[in-house]
Structure 1
Amino acid sequence: MVSVHLLPSLMPAGALRGGVAVVIDVLRATTTIVHALAHGCSAVMPCGEIDEARQIAGRLPRGSAILGGERQGEPIPGFDLGNSPGDYTADACRGKTLVMTTTNGTRALLASLEAEVVLVGAFVNLAATVQRLIHEERPIHLVCAGTDGRISYEDSLLAGAFASRFVDLEHRLANDEAEIVRNMWERIQEIVWSREDYGTPPGEEPPLIRYLKRGRGGRRVTELGLHADIAAAATINRPDCHVVVELARDPLRLLVSK
């Protein structure tokens, strides 16, 4: 069974217990986490607050940590990097632990800890994550981070892409939210996939970039001039990001699942 939770605050108490959660924050935390781990970070440690992140990074061996994240879309003063996927290159990430706090995404991860398994979902690792869950018998929960406590368009689209794929694999949709986002995605998927398969005509913006710009989160990223971040988030099944990202515990850290 597949359920969608459009915000962490909308999850019924105990809903995730015994299940698998896929946390989604397309713009930009989960996209950035996948980039960081795919490009060489040994782990990502999600934090809810800025001071917590600084304290955790300070306890790691000197030179081994990257402090990364944002508040209201902008880099945090004193941090090494912001929340732009493209900043997490192999040179920046190799062998480092990313200690990360963001406005929405890391908090959604921390709100999903009662799930038995917690994965990180983005368009860039969509196929890898679906493949990991093909034979999953536990309930699957798609947890959208949202934007500042409000439902986000871009997270709903990705949840819809997951839901549509799971239906193809004969998983049953368990709530109305899953049906709603699946229908959202299926209304646009033909044009999105056609551009993925055949390319975008010269001078035309890829359709998924246009869709991601429509929501409040996309408009905010655009206002900040971070157009490359939207393009990165709109890349479906990026070859160098074909990884499954899973949360380990004691201590909490995100790793590439082997």
Structure 2
Amino acid sequence: MVSVHLLPSMMPPGALRGGVAVVIDVLRASTTIVHALTHGCAMVIPCAEIDEARRVAAGLPAGTALLGGERHGEPIAGFDLGNSPGDYTTDVCRGKTLVMTTTNGTRALLASLEAETVLVGAFVNFASTVQRLIHEERPVHLVCAGTEGRVSYEDALLAGAFASRFADLEHDLGNDEAEIARGLWERVQETVWAHERHGGRPGEEPPLVRYLKRGAGGRRVVELGLGDDVELAGTLNRTDCQTVVELARDPLRLVASD
């Protein structure tokens, strides 16, 4: 059974209990977390608040912490990095612990702790995350972070891609939101997959990137001069980002799953 929750606040009480949550914040926390772990971070510690992140980072061994994140799309004063996935290179990440707080994504993660297993989903690691879940017998919940309390187009689109894939594999869709998101993805998937198979004309913007720029979140990132972030987030099954990201506990941290 696969259900979609278009915002953390829209999850019924107890809905995630005993299931698997896939937390989605395409622009940009999910994509950045995948990049950070792929490029050498030992773990990512999600925090809800800026002061909490600073305290956690200060408690780590000297030289091992990276402070990263954003508020309202913009970098946080005094932090090492913002929320641009391309900034999380191997040279920056190798052996470090990323302590991260974002407006939407890390809060969605922390709202999903009731689930038995919590994964992080992005377009860049879509195929590997599907493969991780393909034989899952527990209920799967696709939890969209949204944008400051509002449903986001890009998160719903990725949730729809997951829902469509699982429906193709004869998993039941568990709520109307899953059907809505599936329909959203299926309106665009032929164009997206054709580009993935055959490529486009030289200089042509990939269709998935164009779709991500349609929503308020994508427009906001572009307005901030961070269009490259949308291009990275809109790279489906990026070959160097096939990392399955899972939340480990005691202490709470995101790690690359074996």
Q: Which runs of 5+ in 1 are unaligned?
A: none
Q: Which residue does 1:172 correspond to in 2?
A: 172
Number of the residue aligned with 2:136? 136
Under a length normalisation based on structure 1, what TM-score does the superposition of the two structures give? 0.99
Q: Which ranges in structure 2 are unaligned for 5 or more consecutive residues?
A: none
Partner SS for 2:125: helix
User: Aligned with 1:124: secondary structure?
Assistant: coil
Counterpart AA for 1:240:
D
Within 2, Cα distance between the matches of 1:24 and 1:200? 27
Q: Deviations over 1:70-122 (max 9, x none)?
A: 00000000000000000000000000000000000000000000000000000
Q: Hey, what does 2:10 align to over in structure 1?
A: 10
Question: Structure 1 residue 54 and structure 2 residue 54: aligned?
Answer: yes
Deviations 1:157-198 (A, max 9, x none): 000000011111111000000000001101100001111111
CA distance in 2 between counterparts of 1:222 and 1:86 reads 15
* Matching residue of 1:80: 80
DSSP 3-state at the match of 1:209 = helix
Residues 1:200 and 2:203 are matched in the alignment: no
* Inter-partner Cα distance in structure 2 for 1:95 and 1:129: 24
The alignment-based identity, stated in percent, is 78
Q: In 2, Cα distance between the equivalents of 1:203 and 1:3?
A: 38
Distance 2:158 2:201 in 1: 24
**Distance in 1 between the 2:228 and 2:45 partners?**
25
Report the equivalent of 1:37.
37
Q: CA RMSD in A?
A: 0.5
TM-superposed CA distance for 1:129, in Å, is: 0.4
DSSP-derived class of the 2:119 partner: strand
Q: C-alpha separation between the residues in 1 aligned to 2:134 and 2:194?
A: 24
Which structure 1 residue ranges, 4+ long, deviate > 6 Å from structure 2?
none
Scaled by the length of structure 2, what TM-score is found?
0.99
Instruction: Describe how 1:1-258 pairs up with structure 2 within 5 A.
Output: 1-258=1-258
Question: SS at 1:214's partner residue?
Answer: coil
Q: Deviations over 1:210-229 (max 9, x none)?
A: 10001110010010010100
